[in-house]
């Protein structure tokens, strides 16, 4: 799936849907993980394996759904949006209510900087 180009406004408008998808995945992972832990204490190996497979599926589905929106799934419930500036991604991670960070496309979560700092630091991005 090709990444769409988002203005900051467009990315923020899509965010409620992304948050809902992600919340759903997070809850499902937690539930599966709790079941797997319970079963491992009971030593029910095969059932536990199937729950591990379920976690794999939840993460895979989440990534697919995010990709279908034209957004780039990254890491553990983190997404990048291609900004109008070709070398810059808007970066969002679960728990955040709006897009507040950016990083260059060859960088990652650990390199991200707040939007306002990015402008100050000469990122020179088109925010809208």
Partner 1 sequence: MRRSLIAGQDMSNIEMTDVDKLTFGQKLEMMVRLINRQSIRSLLDTLSTTQLVQAHHFLWDMMVEIHFRSQEHIFRREDVTQKMIPSAKYQKMQNCDLRIDYCKGVECIWSNPECAGNKVKNNMEVMAQYIIELFDQANTKKMVAG
- If the CB atoms of residues 13 and 60 are measured against partner 1, the closer one turns out to be 60
127 contacts partner 1 (rule: CB under 8 A): no
User: From the CB of 3, what's the least distance to partner 1, in Å?
Assistant: 15
* Residues 62-91 within binding reach of partner 1 (CB under 8 A): 63, 74-78
User: From the CB of 82, what's the least distance to partner 1, in Å?
Assistant: 18
User: From the CB of 71, what's the least distance to partner 1, in Å?
Assistant: 15
Long-range contacts of the stretch 15-22 (C-beta < 8 A, 24+): 15/92, 15/97, 15/98, 15/99, 17/69, 18/66, 18/69, 18/71, 18/79, 18/92, 19/94, 19/97, 21/62, 21/65, 21/66, 22/62, 22/77, 22/94
């Amino acid at each position: 799936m090709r990444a769409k180009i988002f203005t900051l406004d467009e990315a923020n408008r899509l965010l409620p849907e992304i948050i809902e998808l992600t919340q759903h995945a997070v809850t499902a992972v937690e539930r599966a993980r709790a079941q797997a832990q319970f079963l491992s204490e009971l030593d029910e190996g095969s059932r536990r394996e199937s729950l591990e497979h379920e976690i794999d599926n939840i993460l895979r589905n989440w990534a697919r759904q995010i990709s279908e929106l034209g957004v780039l799934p990254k890491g553990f419930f983190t997404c990048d949006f291609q900004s109008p500036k070709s070398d810059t991604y808007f970066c969002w991670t679960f728990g955040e209510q709006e897009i507040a960070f950016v990083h260059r496309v060859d960088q990652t979560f650990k390199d991200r900087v707040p939007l306002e700092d990015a402008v100050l630091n000469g990122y020179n991005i088109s925010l809208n």
